[in-house]
Amino acid sequence: MNEKVYVYGDEFGTSTLKSNDVKNITHFVYAAILVKESQLQNAKKVRDEISEKFFKGNVLKSNSKILRNEQIRLEVLDYLINNLKFIVYLLVIDKEKLDKEKGGLRFKEVFYKYFQKIFVSQINNNFSDFEIHMDNLINEKYEIELKNYIAQNYQDNFFQKYHISDDTDETLIQLADVLAGSYGRVFNKAFITDNSEAIFDKLQPVTGNISFFPYREDSKLFVVNEEKKIDQEIYNIVRNDALDNFEIENDIIIKSVIEYLLWYQKVMPFRYTQTYEIINTIKNNTGKEVSVENLRIIIKNLRFKGIIIVSSSSKSGYKFAVNKSDVHVYFGHYLNYILPMLKKVEIANSVFLNKTVGDFIPLEDMDELKSLVETLVR
């Protein structure tokens, strides 16, 4: 029998659409922390410990002055992850896209109602026995409307599974608040700091599901640096080639590598995912262990299939190209090997040319290599 799952949700942002949002919150984030019933008491204990250790016994709030110190935020997340078994579900809503909608999403009651339905659907589809507690949103009248609206879209007993609660009554909602606010600092440019990538890295292993709305493959992605730009044509070429290979690939390890790099390209397009992260993901997804050398062979073979997996001499790890700069890095990486090799060939050729007084010139018998070496002196 499947163990009951408890879901505690909160949000980051407001229903105000982007064009009118004075806080410049471009992406609204729903976050939920999911714990099994066997972990429920431990979850409450960990929440209390975090409160005492970091918040002087007070309510956990992501927008508190305490967590404006992002080193403390990282410590809180670290403590949570190390002391509790849980996963995170996210729904990230691009409000810039919603600005183009002229319908009811302009009104906060409809906004919340519509996206609660999407968010709850994820959980309803994945678990048979669960209980949801979402944070208070607007007012008591609206809470009743929202619960009725959601209940009408699911089985008869769903109403009993879904609760709108106060975070002082259901204290684990406070953990969802911290998680939503932390991810809000990943997806909203106005809140980006030097620690945003570290926050993402910390949470990524426990984030079981990220959904985006509106969902389109060519939609604007969520970037951590406004200076970095995605070239949509390059992005689509690389992504579609990878997806095509994924569809025809039969090896579960290779499929796992492609899928992981695709996920990172979508969520953190400028980050190089580390070798150990890919290896750990392969083990989690397939149960198989892969060495660093074997992973390099997989990457090499994927490149021979035309998939542009970028690696850099100045940064460790791999990523799919998302702009022309990435493509130049890809080519430059090989240039760093090709030019020194050609130089060595030129030097060796000169050794024999000079010491045999022209009787033996190795490159004279190797037209293709000769042409390449000649490019060095043109």
Amino acid 317: pLDDT: 87
Q: What is the pLDDT of residue 44?
A: 95
Q: What is the pLDDT of residue 1?
A: 53
In the chain, CATH 1.10.10.10 sits at 232-322
**Highest mean pLDDT, choosing among 213-222, 238-247, 284-293:** 238-247
- Answer for the pair 111, 20: CB distance below 8 angstroms, yes or no: no
Mean pLDDT for the stretch of residues 70-90: 92
In this prediction, residue 160 carries a pLDDT of 59
| 54-59: long-range contacts, CB 8 A cutoff, minimum separation 24 | 54/79, 59/167, 59/168, 59/174
Contact 183, 29 (CB under 8 A): yes
Torsion-angle region of residue 306: left (phi > 0), alpha (psi -120 to 50) or beta? left
pTM of the model: 0.61
pLDDT, mean of residues 128-156: 61
Q: Is residue 18 predicted with pLDDT exceeding 50?
A: no
- At residue 229 the predicted structure's pLDDT band, cuts being 50, 70 and 90, is confident
- How buried is residue 215: exposed, middle or buried, by Cβ count under 10 Å (0-12/13-18/19+)? exposed
- Among 28-37, 108-117, 152-161, 288-297, top mean pLDDT goes to 288-297
State the average pLDDT over residues 165-193.
86
Domain with residues 5-213, CATH architecture: 2-Layer Sandwich (3.30)
Rounded to 5 degrees, what angle do the CA atoms 111, 117, 120 make?
130
Residue 225 has pLDDT above 50, yes or no: no
Query: Is residue 137 very low, low, confident or very high in pLDDT (cuts 50, 70, 90)?
Result: low
pLDDT score for 206: 84
Question: 338 CB contacts (<8 Å, ≥6 apart)?
Answer: none
What pLDDT, on a 0 to 100 scale, did the predictor assign at position 132?
A: 83
Which of the pair, 345 or 377, is modelled with greater confidence?
345
* C-beta of residue 8 within 8 angstroms of C-beta of residue 133: yes
Which CATH number is 232-322 given?
1.10.10.10
Residue 191 pLDDT more than 90?
A: no
CB 211 within 8 A of CB 92: yes
Q: What is the pLDDT of residue 77?
A: 95
Q: Check pLDDT > 90 for residue 168.
A: no
Least confident range of 30-44, 56-70, 207-221, 314-328: 207-221
CB 264 within 8 A of CB 271: yes
Residue intervals in the chain for CATH 3.30.420.10: 5-213
